[in-house]
Amino acid sequence: MIKTDPAMTRSQIQTLTLTIAQINPTVGDIEGNLAALRTARDKARGGAESGTGSGAGSPHVVVGGELAVAGYPPEDLVLKTAFQDRVEAGIHALAVETADGGPALLVGAPWRDTESSDRRQLRNAALLLGNGRLKAAGFKHDLPNYGVFDEKRVFAPGPLPSPMTITGDPPGVRLGVMICEDMWTPGPAAALKEKGAAILVVLNGSPFEAGKTGERLALARARVAETGLPLVYVNLVGGQDELVFDGASFILDGRGELRLRAPSWEEAVIPTIWRLKDGAWAPDPGSVAEPLEPLETVWRALVTGLRDYVNKNHFPGVLIGLSGGIDSALSAAVAVDALGAGRVHCVMMPSPYTSKESLEDAAEAARLMGVRLDTIPIDAAMNAFDAMLKEAFVRHPVDTTEENIQARARGVILMALSNKFGHMVLSTGNKSEMSVGYATLYGDMCGGYSVLKDVYKTMVFELSHWRNRRGRVIPERTITKPPSAELRPNQTDQDSLPPYDQLDAILRCLIEKEMSLGEIAGEGHDPETVQRVWRMLDRAEYKRRQAPPGVKITRRAFGRDRRYPITNGFTGHI
């Protein structure tokens, strides 16, 4: 068994209360984030006083997530001196409040390290507040600088961490505090074990990706196996621009057994009781939330990302062009689950090419979801553009130019309604379309957010079936009919694209796996199709740079995850 600090005997401390504060901060809302931490501390103190804690005189600490005071990720906002000043003032005020005899607080915040060589190094910090003061500060050692992470841009790395001691009456339990990425490699945990830590505590801002929950748990178990120490993992929850945080905080005992798991996608304040036995700390069993099935996890990610983007940016609701197709219907369903039907306004904008079935399906979807649906035909706009451009287009045949004008006319209508009434336009394009540029700039791409931006078309169908099994909101014909933009007679997506099952399989190889064209063809795909898809993906970069943000659910979403040049002379060959 791992021994505690020699100065601490079994007669001195028998129990410890450690409360997980899984909160949803907003980047830049320092006062609001501090208020959320205060609320969590008040709940934790109330639980201790009602008998669920370890009792008067025993150590008690409330642990929040990474950079919870500032919100995560703060990006370049954290470089503003005024922002740093306000964070520090808020921390010192919060520290004073801990003189009331309640729990200590272990919180994440950006912090200027005045003891560094240049005396003003900015660190990603874990701060221990107790007995009315700032008692200890620890700094993130491993700064991630890949994918969506740019921490080396704004923070200086700290040294290998040392334990922090929390006190009761008498003192003291040594916590081995790490910050997020520090758990992903063995070094920080080993250093804490060597310096006498009794419990590993990890403050996290770990964004959601499909399949990542198991990876986190495996890495935590690896650190437990290496050190023999129990581990507390506290994650953020909620949406921040394109990132979503799924919570799912957990505790492992010294054997790596799961003793508690907080619910995913929900804020939670959970007190846990620890007992000293044979010189080592062990947590009492707690509630272990069952993991969600994969499609429900993705659905909750989309709902959380959209809800927090709309609410944290103070939009009254969303505006959706409801076409009768599956993408707009699924986007509306996510919006209703995120915001409620009363905050979702849909508009059908038919053209002469819009089928009777699409009109019926859009109306039926709106009825099933209980949302407002207005109809604004675009015939007059099409005729006006035809007349305006007739002389310029003389002797040139009709082509995709006229199709794009239809999409742009719809975009103008949606943006006009948004400007007039304040609702944010929700773009409805999916990852398959955005990959190959099957979308119109300033047309169906316009909007403030794209909930399906990282969802392949094949998953659009899967999610639609999944949601309907929990209460039908999407007409069956919308799911089963061939997808079409309906910009010309008898048009289907497959006129321009490979079948979606083939397209998505090739795109996953190109985007998520970065496979060569030859490797992809070697998996059984037609070489000419692979070459064509790669060419479309490459040439559409300029469109994606102008696309709205959207929820990240895969390992490699468009945007900060995948940064390709627009001007690009490289050509791939099989």
Distances (CA, A) of 408 to 218, 405, 447: 48, 5, 12
Residue 212 host element (H or E): helix 212-227
Closest CA to 78 of 24, 133, 156, 14: 156
Catalytic choice (66, 151, 209, 403): 66
For residue 346, what are the contacts with CB-CB under 8 A and spacing of at least 6?
319, 320, 321, 322, 332, 362, 366, 371, 372, 373, 374
Closest CA to 270 of 305, 235, 304, 224: 235
Residue 124 CA to residue 66 CA, distance in Å, equals: 8
**What letter represents residue 546's amino acid?**
Q
Do the beta carbons of residue 148 and residue 561 sit within 8 Å?
yes
Catalytic choice (135, 151, 180, 209): 180
For residue 391, what are the contacts with CB-CB under 8 A and spacing of at least 6?
none
Reported as half-sphere exposure (CB side, CA atoms, 13 A), residue 75 has a value of 9
Distances (CA, A) of 352 to 177, 355, 490, 508: 64, 8, 12, 36
140 is catalytic: yes
Catalytic choice (140, 312, 457, 552): 140
Map residue 62 onto helix, strand or coil. Answer: strand
Token match 């198991």: residue? 214
552 is catalytic: no
Residue 279 CA to residue 283 CA, distance in Å, equals: 13
Q: DSSP letter at 1?
A: -
Phi-psi region of 114 (alpha: psi -120 to 50; beta: other; left: phi over 0): alpha
Question: Catalytic residue numbers?
Answer: 66, 140, 180
